[in-house]
Chains A and B, each alone.
Chain A
Amino acid sequence: MSELETAPVPRRNMELLLLLLALAVAMGAYYLVGINSDDGPSQEFITQGLFLAGLALVFHVILRIWAKYADPVILPVTVALNGIGLAMIHRIDLARNDDQAFRQILWTGVAMAVACVTLWAIRDHRVLRRFTYIALAVSVLLLLLPLIPKVGVVLNGARIWVHFFGLSFQPGELAKITLAIFFAGYLSSNRELILLAGRKIGPLQLPRARDLGPMVVAWLVSIGVLVVQRDLGSSILFFGLFMVMIYVATARVSWIVIGTLMLVGGGIFAYLTMSHVTRRIDGWLNAFDPDIYHASGGSRQIVEGLFGLANGGLMGTGLGNGSPYMVPLANSDMIVASLGEELGLIGLSAIVLLYLILVSRGMRAALGSRDTFGKLLATGLSFTIGLQCFVVIGGVTRLIPLTGLTTPFMAAGGSSLLSNWIIVALLLLISHNSRRPMLSGVSATAEVATKAPRRSRGLLESLKETKR
């Protein structure tokens, strides 16, 4: 696998500068929502805006202490996306007299705190490799959790929610992280075996039957999620994650061919046998058919979203001036349509670019990482963000059938925010480890990988380390 190196420079001041700009964007969005509502700039503008700014700055300081060499761009991009999402949710609250934005900012606080704890507790991502099979067990547990009677709840036709003490949570969101850890750990140990064995047929080198095992298991898991939980989005996400990770680990096109064939097979099977998949595909192909538009679970949501996007045009109606609240689920699944209406094509493409930058920085961390496990983990995690964006934005713009995945960092919903912030923390860690100066001596490469990271290493010692 390829490797790139950059000169070790912390670049935290650059991050602070970009972070302030990102906060200006978020506060600007809040302010525009405020002045365009009937009551003028509201209390929320001050409280929620300042809360977000405070959280972001604390996170920045923590990066200065614990992950000095982390990528300087990841945090500002994430904060900007989170802030724009908050402003949009607040804007839809105003139209609907709701209070989702308050819950969302609380979840943002929780998510950023958990991300900080992740940074502190893990310190060196190679530790996670020891939890390869535990991660697999945890993923299976998380995926099965919603099926337990009384705990699991059916919402919008999908059984992916659990209720605990009045809080609802989507465990599948966390499962994508644990699955990425498992795939990275498994593939980094078995990569060479999968790579070397196998027969060659034409230009394709086929893997051995027993190396296909994990691929089949991943396929069965995603089909199982689809059948039992009736959740098309997560099933695509899990399968795509595994396909990309095995492709990156082996650089064999044959995996993509096999995976695509399995995906097509599974898709046709699902279309023919599962009513909710059939509805989704019909709603995509014939969205403007009146029968399908008016049917329950029909294409109304997509078509209203498209009308919203059309209303926005190139420049958008301006935050607070459009009518995105006409679309069902305007603050979660369809938040992209809401943003497209009020910010226009120009604003929406800036947001898509922010996602692109985030994913590319994740890939860059993978390229710079010095160990196979880190490479695979960073690739897998950043790819999940990219695939989620593709599935959601593609669904809203009717490029592909609409499926119920969340827009990372933007859509209202605590579990998605939490897991995406943990992903950001892991990407920051991996980029920190790949960009920091190499320590001379055995410890830099060999022993750290097998020993637990030193918790007690304080500021002073890390300063000494860089001077060496």
Chain B
Amino acid sequence: MNDLVFTVLRLGFLILLWLLVLSIVGALRRDLAIGSRARVGGPSAREIRKDPSLASPPEAPAKQQAKTLAILEGPLTGLEHQLTASPVLLGRAQEASIVLEDDYASGRHARLFPQGTRWFIEDLGSTNGTFLGEAQLTRAQPVELGQKIRIGKTVMELRP
């Protein structure tokens, strides 16, 4: 074979190598748009501006305020905690407002706090996660009356 063919093959190989690198990077692009589809909550303000139909209908003012936090399952079943205006710390640590005696709960597991007329729950970097309904919390989310909050083996809900 002559030199020309060699040169073409040599450069062709380099192009093939870069093609591999670029197609891998292309395949990863989807991963870089982190969470836009995986996000658990509603659309962001920016998405709503682009597409107004995404906006959720304005919520009716809550008819009833949550007054107690009731534990339905787990070691503390039956306990009812009176909610005041201050946040509630859930966890195994002694300083928690409700000390969960649950092997799967972290020391400072989650925080339940009031904002406006609603209560929000936020995971505090727990090992095993906090679940609202079926979904694991990735950020603070509002809790509706009767919606199940699960930490380890403990299940609780807000009651009027």
Contacts and interface: CB of A to CB of B under 8 A. Distances in A.
Interface of A: 1, 3-7, 14, 17-18, 21-22, 24-25, 28-29, 32, 35-36, 72-73, 76-77, 80, 315-316, 318-319, 321, 343-344, 346-347, 350-351, 353-354, 357, 364, 370-372, 438, 440, 442, 445-446, 449
B20 A21 contact: yes
B35 A343 contact: no
B28 A73 contact: yes
B27 A72 contact: yes
Interface in B1-15: 1, 6-7, 9-14
14 contacts: A1-B125, A7-B38, A21-B23, A25-B13, A35-B1, A35-B6, A35-B9, A76-B20, A80-B20, A344-B14, A351-B17, A353-B21, A354-B21, A442-B153
Interface residues of B, number: 38
A18 B27 contact: yes
Interface string B29-40: 001001101100
A139 to B, nearest CB: 26
Nearest to A40: B1
Contact of A321 (B6, B27, B103, B138): B6
A347 B1 contact: no
A69 to B, nearest CB: 13
Contact of A442 (B13, B37, B104): B104
B127 A371 contact: yes
A445 B134 CA distance: 13
A340 B119 CA distance: 61
Contact of B17 (A5, A18, A347, A440): A347
Contact of B16 (A28, A76, A77, A353): A28
Nearest to B152: A446
Contact of B38 (A6, A18, A354): A6
Contacts of B24: 18, 73, 76-77, 354, 357
B127 A343 contact: no
Contacts of A80: 20
A372 B12 CA distance: 45
Contact of A315 (B10, B19, B35): B10
Nearest to A5: B38
B14 A347 contact: yes
Contacts of A3: 138
A446 B153 contact: yes
A28 B8 CA distance: 13
A7 B37 CA distance: 7
B142 interface: no
A449 B103 CA distance: 12
B127 A372 contact: yes
Contacts of B147: none
A73 B27 contact: yes
Contacts of B7: 318
Interface string B75-92: 000000000000000000
B65 interface: no
A51 to B, nearest CB: 20
Contacts of B34: 4-6
A353 B34 CA distance: 22
Contacts of A77: 24
B18 A350 contact: yes
A445 B129 contact: yes
Contact of A25 (B16, B103, B131, B153): B16
B136 A438 contact: yes
Interface string B129-140: 101001010100
A370 B128 CA distance: 8
A5 B41 CA distance: 13
